Structure 1
Amino acid sequence: MNTCFCKFPLAAALLAAASLAQAAGPLQLTEHPRNPQPMRWDTSKPIQVYTDIGPLTYRDDGSVFLSNAQADKITAFALKQWSDVPTSTWKAVTDPARFKKFSQVAGVGVDVKDGDTAKRVYGQPLEGGIYVIYDQNGQVIEEYFGVPKDQVLGIAFAEIAEDRDGDGYPETIVKATAVMNGYVVPHEPVPADQPWMPPPDVDGKRIAGVFTHEFGHAINLSHSQVNGTMAYFSHPGYYEAYPGVPGCVPALHSWRDEDPSAKKIDPKYIETMFPFIDPTFPDANGRNAGYEQSTVDRSDDMAGISDLYPSATYAKTRGSIAGTLFLKDGRTPYGGINIVARNIADPLGDAISAMSGDKTQGLVGPDGRFRINNLKPGQKYLLYLEEIVAGGYPTTPTALVSEAEYWNSNEQSNAANDRACSTSAITAEAGVTKTANFYFNGYKDGVQYTPVVYGFLGSMSKDGERAAGWIDNKPFVWDAKNGVTWAPDGVVGVNTSITRDGRKLIVQADLDGRVIGADWEGLPMKTNSATIWDTRTGGLTDLGSLNRDRCGGSSQIGYSSSYGWALDSTGRTAVGTAYVDRNGDGSCEGGWSGDSTIGGEIIPFIWTAGRGMRALSLEGIDLTTEPWHRAHAVSADGRVVLGNSNFMKAYAWIDEGRPVDLYKAVGAVDGYAMTPDAGRVALNTEKDGVVFWNANKGSKSSAFTKFKQMQWCVDMPLLGLDISCETEGAAAIQQQFGPIPVQVADISDDGKVMIGSAGLWFSGLRGVMWLEDIGWIQLADFFRTQGVAEAYRYGLDGPGSMNAAGNEIVGGIPGYPMSWYVDLKKAFVCKHGNSTEVSFPAEFVDEVKRGARMGRCEHLRIAAR
């Protein structure tokens, strides 16, 4: 008989709610290449249970807090929850007197309490059944599994399976293990001076939810997301979760939220298999999620176990909904999205979910199929899509590359005809499976919005074919035809500027392996320096430093003797930050560390092929008040360099001459984007918003061009710092803050299109686009009126770069490692009541100037409503 030791699945860990979720589908499948099936227990007799011989946890003084007998009682309670589901055949021994103790099992015989003793259980055949470890101090969690004991409450999974059907792939579970972390159990009285501490869990009722959840994994149930996101993560003004599609139903918030006006969910509705739990604090009414999640009384959990171990009457007495989730092309299946059915009459108490593709988990290719069972006959259900929020799953959660929506009988991809809030109730019938396919909303013409890579894309070749980015400090190139190419080992960087032809990138590397000292742990400290990576040949060119690698500056990528920021069109010119030791103290960060008497140790550099690296002039600048400078952009021909000092003043260098003080000239604080000839340089100023500078005209007043800017409270609200447009009034806000600042990321070659992020960090950033003769447009508004449903949820608030023509963009969301490619070559205007596709940007702008409205007529009408 073929036997396998199953892999440790990520989804088996239950996380503390303080860390950062499908009815629970199968956790582990067989390895059959064409027809994987869920692993299952043999339910012809109750599953034997083996329990540890020590207590669950101790008090701080070393005395027992929850004894072995109490732990066994909690185990029996939790197993009984699953064993008593009437539509399931799965049963376990639930009488503590019939549990077998580890001392009775040959090969174990000890109290399992650390990594070494855990090896007597894990990976050993032993006798068939479920083995329950009481990890008194969290040592098994940390020493055997290598995870923090204060973040993981328990780990369980089916460990050994046998091939009993003779197909060569083990499918019958014969042994499972579960470790319960006693370290996290509140066990001390609340000190008078620390009333915020959790009260002791004297009878283990709060930790019982962890037991029930972990035994769900031992049964082979995955995680589940139905009501848990509302209960744990939803807070007004922060993140809001909904019992349906956002914008169609009001949000529900955590029962723990302190806002008295917040509409809160009762913790009794949390599904047991949600991957987060709080077994510590009861609320003001004595309710606790750990206790509520210890009972298996939610439709979703009962569906999970009944789907795996159905009773003879389960399918005959319950209704089902099945279908496939497709992309907007109507052909390509899409997995990893949560699909929820809610009973209209009891939307929280009777809700069941499934994850598209959860029955194959990506093992047989793209799979968008889903099936939801355990529906009550005669009841009406609404079906909708949502993303998985957090937690571990055997089916990889994916981004909702369209808008969240309800299913309706007119289900289709046309975003105007298939509105997100349009619903059609599905009436459940006993023994009948209703079909409900989903199609992501989106158009095949007009603006195309495509997710391309998990990472941050920030620089695009001017033909639009390639873009440079990074993830976890590792640079890469995304190619429209060939996908992602990673930088060579040892290469790091986050300022991955790419040349116009997409061939070369500015990165960081340590090519000489020079050790310049020891870090605070006494480990050898190496320094990297600005480097050019030729992606065609794989070659690396070290740009060197101005201090012979003797010192540098520290950042998220390590210790750098020079730091590259940008390249010209061919990669023959590079600019960035260099470090020098002006006063001979062995440090190169004078002024940055707070000592303003030392300036000029962090300076701008320019490097050119053949001449190497040299410092740009700081002549005329008071280095005691402006102690550090950088160069961060360069024109296509390498003549004009942009930079700033102390994040406060913008400077430029033309043909390596004296610095041009752009702050003094026009109040500019920074600037990154310019046309190839630097005839239009987009400067971000303090009082006038974005101002154009023609670098070819020097710094005289005629070189600068001002134009209309976005205004607070008119184009965008101001929120935060206890002020708002409503409390202060638009005029006062405008007088105090001036126009909305825009960080321009890129500009088209003709200077007629710009993209960037508008706003302030504390008030939120929004992606914007500027079109000559039209002005500023919020990208979210542009995408919505164009009917780009894929952008409704993720609206490109962090646009990174564009092609030469200004009709291809890459970017993402500030701080979120996901990037999109936007094809703007065609867009729609509403002309004489008809949606008309035109070329972008020239024809689009001309039509709007002649009176057409921006967008599809259908979506302009939707927006008006």
Structure 2
Amino acid sequence: MRIRRSKGSRAIGLFALIALLLSSHASFAGGPFVIDSAGQPAVWSTAHSVPFHTDLGPLGLLTNAEAIALVEEALQVWEDVPSSSITFAAAGSLPFDVTGSNVFDILDVLGDGISPVVFDHDGSVIDAVFGIGASRSVLGFTAIEFGQSDRILEAQAVLNGSVLDGDPTNPDVSRESFLATIVHEFGHYMNLDHSQINGELAFDGDVSNDDGLPTMFPIASDSATKTTLHLDDIATVSTLYPGQNFSTSTGSIEGEIVLGNGTTPFQGANVIARRTGDPIHDAVSYVSGALFSNTFGGGSSDPAFKGLYTIAGLPPGDYTVEVEQIDPTFTGGSSLNPLDPPAMLPGPEEFYNGENEAGSMGLDDPSEATTITVAAGAIVDGIDILFNTIAADDSDIGLALVLTKFKHKIRAIGDRITA
């Protein structure tokens, strides 16, 4: 359900947060989504606060004033990131109460200087955009508009009030869980993409550990912990909108993901740096080739970008770096840039292994990791990972790949059962 549309020189990137609403314990990139032809992410100008215009009506059982207060609370979460310079400003109200019958009078008007935040009181707006019944599985969606440069001109967010209406025949969520949805949607409003870190925590049926999931994880959670940003969220928003001391207080890891021949770049691997002291919470991700030409019509055609990754915003410390498969069920509105559907890894998931990094499992044990020390203000480059080549007669490598893909197949089956 995430698409891109073009009108003249403008393009829209549309995101949807998907909810597993039928489960009482429903499960819930770092990086940018919209990339221009020069390989630069679209961003708002920080010379002024990012504007938003609020709807006139209620949001489920919330009054208009309560809905606006909820939006402002969500925006404050992003403003409170000390390493980021992003700020927001209420720019007034929309000219009319948006409903399913008039939604395209506001969403289809580009270049009007209005960035609407729509309170979809009864789900009719989402049904009008995505089809009847969509409001039972989509908590909200966001789109951004940009012109010839990499500057975002306008944005729009739609929030599904039908999950706050108290109707026992509809799946409802708590206020805190819905607040997490708004925080997530305003991440997209700033051009943050979806992020996959600690994905196994989203599918284990235990919401108590969901604080290990980033707010920008594609699937909604019953846990209110998503109102607290994960390091991955903090690093991404700070990379797009850096504060004064961001570059001097944090470090970066850079490298390239390539096939076993050591030369062919691979686009679409999820690369994660984990600090050894707390690898669950102190983790930041980036998808290889995120700035290269992508499924969504953006990105640079320069082949030098194809396998590259840069993980910025790392607090000083010791890290491991790994590559993992992006969940094959993360497609459409829950996809991660740059590819939809995700690329399947050409070998097993593995850690960076320093001097032992090689394209053969006989030379490079994928479970062995080399620690990388990151200092404040420093860039550690050359952290290249070679996928282990799968030979037809190598049963161990074949088994490792099968297990990697089988793990995600189990997740996909579980997703379909609970959704």
- TM-score where L is the length of structure 2: 0.84
Give the partner amino acid of 2:385: F
Following superposition, the deviation at residue 309 of structure 1 comes to: 1.1
Check the 8 A contact 2:288/2:309 in 1, yes or no: yes
Say whether residues 1:793 and 2:403 are aligned partners: yes
The match for 2:197 among 226, 240, 249 is 226
Residue in structure 2 matched with residue 307 of structure 1 by the alignment:
239
Larger Rg: 1
Matching residue of 1:28 = 34
Structure 2 distance, partners of 1:36, 1:347, is 30
Task: State the distance in 1 between where 2:149 and 2:260 align.
Answer: 38
Deviation at 1:52, TM superposition (A): 0.3
Change (3 A) 1:375 1:8: closer
Q: Distance in 2 between matches of 1:21 and 1:333?
A: 32
Residue from 54, 58, 62 that aligns with 2:57: 54
2:106 is paired with a residue of what secondary structure?
coil
Structure 1 Cα separation of the partners of residues 111 and 405 of structure 2:
54
1:413 shift after superposition: 1.0
Q: Residues 272, 791 of structure 1: CA spacing in aligned structure 2 closer, same or farther, 3 A cutoff?
A: closer
Please name the residue that 2:118 is paired with. Answer: 133
Give matches, 1:457-496, under 5 Å.
none
Q: What is the one-letter code of the residue matched to 2:228?
A: T
Q: Equivalent pairs: percent with the same residue?
A: 29
Q: 1:211 to 1:794 in 2, by over 3 A?
A: closer
CA distance in 2, matches of 1:431, 1:795: 37
Which of these residues, 93, 114, 133, is aligned with residue 101 of structure 1? 93
Letter matched to residue 73 of structure 1: A
Task: Give the SS at the match of 1:41.
Answer: coil
1:793 aligned counterpart, secondary structure: helix
AA in 2 matched with 1:4: S
Q: Please, what TM-score do these two structures have when normalized by structure 1? A: 0.42
The AA in structure 1 aligned to 2:201 is A
What is the rounded CA distance, in whole Å, between the counterparts of 2:152 and 2:8 in structure 1? 10
SS at match of 1:180: strand
Cα distance change on mapping 1:17 and 1:365 into 2, 3 Å: farther
Q: Could you say which residue in structure 2 is the equivalent of 1:152? A: 138
Are residue 430 (structure 1) and residue 405 (structure 2) matched?
Answer: no
| Counterpart mapping for 1:495-510 below 5 A | none
**CA shift for structure 1 position 144:** 2.4
Runs (5+) with no aligned partner, structure 2:
1-6, 413-419
The answer to whether the aligner puts 1:82 opposite 2:78 as a matched pair is yes
**Does 2:345 correspond to 1:400?**
yes
Distance 1:345 1:794, change over 3 A: closer
Counterpart in 1 of 2:179? 208
Whole-Å Cα distance in 2 between the matches of residues 412 and 213 of structure 1?
38
Q: 2 CA distance for matches of 1:128 and 1:152? A: 27
The C-alpha deviation readout for 1:614-661, integer Å capped at 9, x for no partner, is xxxxxxxxxxxxxxxxxxxxxxxxxxxxxxxxxxxxxxxxxxxxxxxx
Q: 1:200 to 1:336 in 2, by over 3 A?
A: closer
Structure 2 residue matching 1:311: 3-state secondary structure: coil
Which residue in the other structure is 2:228 paired with?
A: 295
- Aligned partner of residue 125 in structure 2, secondary structure: helix
State whether residues 252 and 374 of structure 2, in contact with CA within 8 Å, keep that contact through their aligned partners in structure 1. yes
CA distance, structure 1, for counterparts of residue 281 and residue 84 of structure 2: 20
Confirm whether residue 38 of structure 1 aligns to residue 41 of structure 2.
Answer: yes
Check conservation: 1:153, 1:181, Cα contact below 8 A. Answer: yes
For structure 1, list consecutive stretches of 5 or more residues without a partner in the other structure. 58-64, 103-108, 163-168, 235-253, 257-264, 279-287, 448-781, 797-812, 817-865
| 1:70 positional shift | 0.8
| Offset, 1:28 | 0.7
The residue type equivalent to 2:372 in the other structure is: I
Query: What per-residue deviation string (whole Å, max 9, x for no partner) do you get for residues 672-716 of structure 1?
Result: xxxxxxxxxxxxxxxxxxxxxxxxxxxxxxxxxxxxxxxxxxxxx
Q: 1:21 to 1:72 in 2, by over 3 A?
A: closer
**Pairing of 1:769-788 with structure 2 (within 5 A):** 783-785=394-396, 787-788=397-398
Which structure features the higher share of strand residues? Answer: 1
Displacement of 1:323: 0.5
Task: In structure 1, give the amino acid aligned to 2:180.
Answer: G
Q: Quick one: which amino acid aligns to residue 383 of structure 1? A: V
The answer to whether structure 1 residue 388 and structure 2 residue 338 are counterparts is no
For the 8 Å contact 1:14–1:276, the answer to whether it is kept is yes
How many Å apart are 1:172 and its aligned residue? 1.1
Write out per-residue CA displacement over residues 37-87 of structure 1, whole angstroms, 9 at most, x where no aligned residue: 111101111122210000001xxxxxxx11111110110011111122111
Residue by residue over 1:771-805, the C-alpha shift from the partner in whole angstroms, topping out at 9 and shown as x without a partner, is xxxxxxxxxxx6425x4477443799xxxxxxxxx
Conserved 8 A contact 1:129-1:174 = no
1:309-328 alignment to 2 at 5 Å? 309-328=241-260
Distance in 2 separating the partners of 1:84 and 1:173: 21
Which of 134, 143, 148 matches 2:128? 143
Work out which structure has the larger RCO, using CA pairs closer than 8 Å and 6 or more positions apart in sequence.
2
Cα distance 1:365–1:18, how it changes in 2: closer, same or farther (>3 A)?
Answer: farther
Give, in whole Å, the separation in 1 of the partners of 2:288 and 2:385. Answer: 10
Equivalent residue number for residue 416 of structure 2: none
Counterpart-to-counterpart distance in 1, 2:81 and 2:405? 44
Q: Decide whether the 8 Å contact of 2:164 with 2:172 is kept in 1.
A: no
Question: Hey, what does 2:417 align to over in structure 1?
Answer: none
Which residue of the partner structure matches residue 4 of structure 1? 9
Indicate the structure with greater helix content.
2
3-state secondary structure, aligned to 1:156: strand
Q: For the aligned residues, what is the CA RMSD?
A: 2.7
In 2, Cα distance between equivalents of 1:795 and 1:13: 26
3-state SS of the aligned residue for 2:279? strand
> How many angstroms apart in 2 are the aligned matches of 1:39 and 1:146?
29
Residues 18 and 332 of structure 1: CA distance in aligned 2, closer, same or farther (over 3 Å):
farther
Match of 1:647 in 2: none
Give, in angstroms, the shift of residue 126 of structure 1.
Answer: 5.7
State whether residues 44 and 152 of structure 2, in contact with CA within 8 Å, keep that contact through their aligned partners in structure 1.
Answer: yes
Q: Partners of 2:237 and 2:117 in 1: how far apart?
A: 20
Match of 1:70 in 2: 66
- 1:372 pairs with 311, 314, 324, which one? 311
Matching of residues 299-698 of structure 1 within 5 Å: 299-362=231-294, 363=299, 364=301, 367-377=306-316, 379-389=317-327, 390=330, 391-396=334-339, 397-409=342-354, 410-435=356-381, 436-442=383-389, 447=392
For residues 81 and 151 of structure 2, what CA distance do their matches in structure 1 show? 21
Give how far 1:17 is off.
2.8
**Aligned position for 1:120:** 105
Deviations 1:354-411 (A, max 9, x none): 101112243426611111111111x111111111112312311211220111111121
Is the contact between residue 49 and residue 88 of structure 2 (CA under 8 Å) also seen in structure 1? Answer: yes
- Answer yes or no: is 1:14 the counterpart of 2:17: yes
Contact 1:212 1:295 in 2 (8 A): no
C-alpha distance in 2 between matches for 1:431 and 1:415: 35
Aligned pair count reads 382
Residue 22 of structure 1 aligns with an amino acid whose one-letter code is: A
Q: What amino acid is aligned across from residue 35 of structure 2 in structure 1?
A: L
Judged with a 3 Å threshold, the aligned counterparts in structure 2 of structure 1 residues 224 and 29 are, in CA distance, closer, same or farther, namely same
SS at match of 2:351: coil
Conservation of the 8 A alpha-carbon contact between 2:348 and 2:404: no
User: Match for residue 96 of structure 2?
Assistant: 110
CA deviation after TM superposition for structure 1 residue 416, in Å? 1.4
